[in-house]
């Protein structure tokens, strides 16, 4: 991002008293493009929730990793954005032939 564009963004600066570390948080993009279809979002959220519950009920290192993956799936389902799809240029939110665009 160019320096002139950065000045128009608000910055939040925090100085911690104990360590004198300055933390600058750039505002993140509020709206990312929705690139995951409705059915895929529901399946991701339900599957992710199942993995999280399994990890909580049966704690182990492997299940902790499953729980983290489940959290990523829940995030994908809630926000409708998949970073992997974005990197690959895939948009799963496009209507199929004969369907109308969601309003």
User: Measured between alpha carbons, how far is 101 from 85 in angstroms, rounded to an integer?
Assistant: 20
* pLDDT value at 2 more than 50: no
Percent of all residues in the chain with a pLDDT value above 90, rounded to a whole number: 51
- For residue 4, CA distances in Å to 10, 49, 95 come to 13, 42, 39
Percent of all residues in the chain with a pLDDT value above 70, rounded to a whole number: 64
pLDDT tens by residue, 61-71: 999 999 999 99
Most confident of 31-40, 67-76, 80-89: 67-76
pLDDT tens by residue, 44-57: 999 999 999 999 99
Query: DSSP character for 27?
Result: P
CB-side neighbour CA atoms (13 Å) of 102: 10
């Amino acid at each position: 991002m160019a320096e002139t564009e950065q000045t128009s963004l608000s910055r939040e600066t925090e100085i911690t008293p104990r360590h004198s570390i300055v933390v600058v948080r750039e505002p993140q993009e509020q709206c990312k493009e929705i690139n995951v279809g409705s059915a895929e979002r529901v399946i991701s959220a339900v599957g992710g929730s199942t993995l999280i519950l399994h990890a909580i009920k049966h704690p182990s290192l492997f299940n902790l990793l499953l729980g983290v993956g489940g959290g990523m799936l829940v995030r994908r389902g809630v926000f409708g954005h998949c970073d992997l799809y974005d990197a690959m240029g895939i948009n799963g939110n496009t209507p199929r032939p004969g369907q109308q665009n969601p309003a």
